[in-house]
Amino acid sequence: MSKKGGFYESVEYYFDRAAPHTGLPQGLLDQIKVCNSVYRMNFPVKLRDEVKVIEAYRVQHSHHRTPTKGGIRFSNHVNQEEVMALASLMSYKCAIVDVPFGGAKGGVKINPWEYTPEELEKITRRYTAELIKRNMIGPSVDVPAPDYGTGSREMAWIYDTYRAFKGDEIDAAGCVTGKPVTQNGVRGREEATGRGVFYGIREACNVPEDMKKIGLSAGTKGKTFVLQGLGNVGTFTGKICQEEGGMILVGVGEVEGAIYNPDGIDINDLLQYRKANGSMLNYPGVQSYDKAQREIALEFECDVLVPAALESVITINNASRIKAKIIAEAANGPVAADAEEVLLAAGKLIIPDFYLNAGGVTVSYFEWLKNLSHMRFGRMDKRFNQGRMMDMVNLIERMTNRDVTNEEMKIIARGADEIDLVRSGLEETMITAYHQIREVMVVNPKINDLRTAAMVNAINKISNDYMSLGIWP
């Protein structure tokens, strides 16, 4: 593998490729590129009557805006370079979708599936205590979120630990996002990344001239897609693409293997089958491939390939065998930089990760705002808006001499719930960001891919902050 094949090296390569298109001075580019703070920590935890030393990280890539923001992953593959790469992507991601955070990321080097919930709680709380001790967590400092191997449960533990140390802080709930709704979380956070992936795919597919270049018709309806990964992101992406986009799932890759059916797979039925049988292999009507062949899912015939698992799954070794016309990067860094060159040369459209999976941080931003305002979205105006819509319906009834049915009334005259507002805000964010990125590519003939355009857009936005605020002293 070339130097560009590594995850962190790939991120730096993408930055360096985009930088000349910005016209910014090298010193400013150097500041934007570098990770501002890199913390490695080792702490003891007593587990099963013995002491285990845990290796962990928190990286704050950029302080051009604060707080910094980024998830915490639990994985035995965690290392400093991986966390630095993910933190860097978070800065660019936040800039692209106009979320006012600097980028950060955390990692704890454990296999979470080897520990009991009680042991995971001990590790999570001790990691949180280490962050508090170093002033690396807080609603105005650094706001973690879930990532690979963590979820709302772990975020609740982090919140409770922070509150125990900072009991007099009125905005303590804003110290972490991705919490359960009952613990000051926000509705729609669980589906946010997958829903954002769908919105991004939809926007790309809705540009007729771009679809024509790759031999596809405009729109998502009827387009075939393959999911690599059935975690939170892959599952919600698959469901929403199928149910709201009219797309046809033809293949899936997971840890136990891969399945393929060109006639389509119902994702809800597949998930039920997998839950009941412990594996998706031998699902009725599909061709199954065992664990040793699981990567073949990336090479299935389809219109859209959605890698939704871990980084660097498409490499220089398999890039030439990718048949999909659109690669939608739901995971972070699924395409190595040298592999991307092969894909672009083959005329593929790549929707880059730091735009496409920004739904999570976007809705995390909404949750943070909710925590600072101490009020559920929609509480103040839902009934007012519902009343205004009912007044309008009544007016239409009088003018048309036609009664609106109860079912029609339920559809028309309703106020927005929190999840409606979250989805609306997410959709607006993903639509606006996609067309900003595409505009950069359209107006600059030297830029011919969305990733470079997205990176140019992100660098310019971050540089504007530095130039507006100045550098002190």
Range of weakest confidence among 297-301, 313-317, 358-362, 377-381: 377-381
Mean pLDDT of 35-50: 96
How do residues 204-246 score in pLDDT, each as one tens digit? Answer: 999 999 999 999 999 999 999 999 999 999 999 999 999 999 9
198 vs 409, which has greater pLDDT? 198
Looking at domain 186-378+416-455, which of 3.40.50.720, 3.40.1710.10, 3.40.50.1240, 3.10.180.10 is its CATH number?
Answer: 3.40.50.720
Active site residue 105: yes
Residue 2 has pLDDT above 50, yes or no: no
Cα–Cα distance for residue pair 89/93, rounded to 1 Å: 6
Domain boundaries, the chain: 38-182, 186-378+416-455
CB 437 within 8 A of CB 450: yes
Q: Residue 467 above 70 pLDDT?
A: yes
Q: Percent of the chain having pLDDT more than 70? A: 99
- DSSP letter for each residue of 288-353: EE-GGGGGGGGGS--SEEEE-SSS--B-TTTGGG---SEEE--SSS-B-HHHHHHHHHTT-EEE-H
Q: In the predicted model, is pLDDT for residue 383 greater than 90?
A: no
* Number of helices and strands in the chain (H, E): 16, 12
Report DSSP letters for 57-89, one per residue. Answer: EEEE---SSSSEEEEEEE-TT--HHHHHHHHHH
Tens digits of residue pLDDT in 307-334: 998 888 999 999 999 999 999 999 988 9
> Is a pLDDT exceeding 70 seen at residue 186?
yes
pLDDT at position 180 is 97
pLDDT at 43 over 90: yes
Q: Which pTM was predicted? A: 0.93
Q: What is the token pair recorded at 362? A: 């976007």
List 4, 105, 122, 348, catalytic entry? 105
Domain 38-182 shares a fold with domain 186-378+416-455: yes
Query: Do residues 143 and 177 touch, judged by C-beta distance below 8 A?
Result: yes
**Burial class of 209 by CB neighbour count within 10 A (0 to 12, 13 to 18, 19+):** exposed
Per-residue pLDDT band at 4 (split at 50, 70, 90) = low
Sequential DSSP letters for 188-240: TTTTHHHHHHHHHHHHHHT-HHHHHHTT--SSSTT-EEEEE--SHHHHHHHHH
DSSP-assigned beta bridge partners for residue 251: 226, 260
Class of domain 38-182: alpha beta
Rounded CA gap, 401 and 189, in Å? Answer: 43
